[in-house]
Chain A
């Protein structure tokens, strides 16, 4: 068999161009992509960050992830549109359906990215480069937005290739092209190199991907552990991961966090916020049929100082009440009375819930589980807010907090190829 042929297809400023296309379809004369505009959260509830920006907005120095407030300061005429995650799911699905016409092996990698295995399709669909151009044009014509396509012999290089120059482009990045297409790029551009790793590498004089590729992997291992090997392989374009249709990433932990619309000063409100977070963590935990063996709580103060605390449990649990109880204990142990801006709860060390080791210290476990089950069932049938705890009445807080989409699986980026 010849070498593999993998495409990575990435929608250009996805959220923003999807919003723009929707507006055009509804007869709006303005194309958001041609003016400074961003998709961003609501400033009033303090969740206002830039999720996606148009290319004209980029020229004003607006970056993804910065507060909408500071983006407005850079460009007063900036148009801010709110996000609509259900609509993005629909776009993403239509996007995937077009790709299915080019190969049966299509993997959704995130909401706006797909991998496609073109190996063996040459006989039926022709030259990969031409097919990629056809694919790009078809999406533009039918769905109205532009994409970048990266072509290579593995997923890593295909992904690196599609990021080379945007928008509306097709790039190849085969192993023989690595030295002049990938190695001159700054090391942060490499998949898997984040802010923390980049700083470590830069401190040691590794500035480009080429520098990384040409160092001794043993030396990398001395400060990056086994991750150093992985990055060295990536820098040399080595990756063997297969394209997996309908992939679901194994869950390691379930967490939820929220920025509260006001600063929290008292323990009682904080405990309510924790409860609203635990409610959704609990539902997800039980839906995935897991028990949690560890609970963690994180706090961010109004001065953006963060800290967290976690505890292992003697007996794993999936009970909303039990997790909340532990979360409150953890909170009491670490909170230093500062005003709180952001709270998070996370459970980990998951194990299957098919067998439960009972503990003589645990009370009414069966009763708790029956209760959670009944509430889950009512919520799945009549909506998440059909039953709520009385403590949330007049509290100004939502009875279930956080999360982009509560009921459907929303594909976010993963660090695994």
Chain B
């Protein structure tokens, strides 16, 4: 996988314990918005590099008929989401 780190718009769910799960995200590709539904989150991990908390989600989705694995990153402090690796 390679790092892309592109900002994305996200719809996510939060459970009663505050654990978040991304459901859908929209990314601008070649000037056009593309919406991708997150079908499966295989695992989440938390990091606190330089004191900045970020949660990484390893996800899986069907994109153009192919099953793809990618990683999303969420920064709780700023509320921003990123497509981290594809």
Contact = CB atoms under 8 A, between A and B. Distances in A.
Interface in B3-50: 3-5, 47-50
B47 to A, nearest CB: 7
Contact of A29 (B3, B50, B52, B54): B3
Nearest to B51: A94
A144 B48 CA distance: 8
B77 to A, nearest CB: 9
A27 B84 contact: yes
Interface string A65-90: 00000000000000000000001001
Nearest to B82: A27
Interface string A161-199: 000000000000000000000000000000000000000
B51 A143 contact: yes
Given A27-B3, A27-B5, A27-B82, A93 B49 contact: no
Contacts of B5: 26-27
A22 B50 contact: yes
B6 to A, nearest CB: 9
A25 B50 contact: yes
Contacts of B47: 25, 142
Most buried by A among B3, B50, B84: B50
B3 A18 contact: no
Interface in A135-151: 142-145
Nearest to B85: A27
8 contacts: A25-B47, A27-B5, A27-B82, A27-B84, A90-B52, A142-B47, A142-B48, A144-B49
Given A21-B49, A25-B47, 10 more contacts: A22-B49, A25-B50, A27-B3, A90-B50, A90-B52, A95-B51, A143-B49, A143-B50, A144-B49, A145-B50
